[in-house]
């Protein structure tokens, strides 16, 4: 796989992840309200939330690493 192809693929992946994050941000308040009501009604136990690796950051870093570096002409 060429660097250009890898960069394009990673850019598409990054855009998809960002779109999914925006959707999650829009739906989170509704989910929290549902969980709060469910707890008040005694339906759901409280769960802890874990965090994983930030794939967008990793993809952005790899894109920067693979992009051609500017050359200084003499």
Domain annotation covers residue 73: no
Q: Do 24 and 66 touch, CB atoms closer than 8 A?
A: no
| Global pTM value | 0.53
Tally the domains of the chain. Answer: 1
Q: Do 17 and 56 touch, CB atoms closer than 8 A?
A: yes
Q: Do 14 and 70 touch, CB atoms closer than 8 A?
A: no
Domain annotation covers residue 21: yes
Domain annotation covers residue 71: no
pLDDT tens figures, 42-57? 765 666 666 777 888 8
pLDDT tens figures, 2-37? 888 999 999 999 999 999 999 999 999 999 998 888
Domain annotation covers residue 16: yes
**Rounded CA separation 38/11 (Å):** 39
Domain annotation covers residue 27: yes
Q: Which domain holds residue 37?
A: 3-44+53-66
Q: Do 39 and 46 touch, CB atoms closer than 8 A?
A: yes
Domain annotation covers residue 72: no
């Amino acid at each position: 796989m060429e660097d250009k192809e890898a960069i394009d693929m990673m850019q598409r992946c990054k855009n998809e992840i960002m779109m999914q994050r925006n959707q999650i941000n829009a739906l989170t308040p509704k989910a929290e309200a549902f969980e709060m009501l469910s707890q008040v009604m005694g339906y759901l136990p409280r769960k802890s939330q874990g965090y994983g690796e930030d794939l967008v950051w990793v993809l952005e870093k790899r894109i920067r690493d693979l992009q051609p570096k500017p050359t200084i002409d003499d």
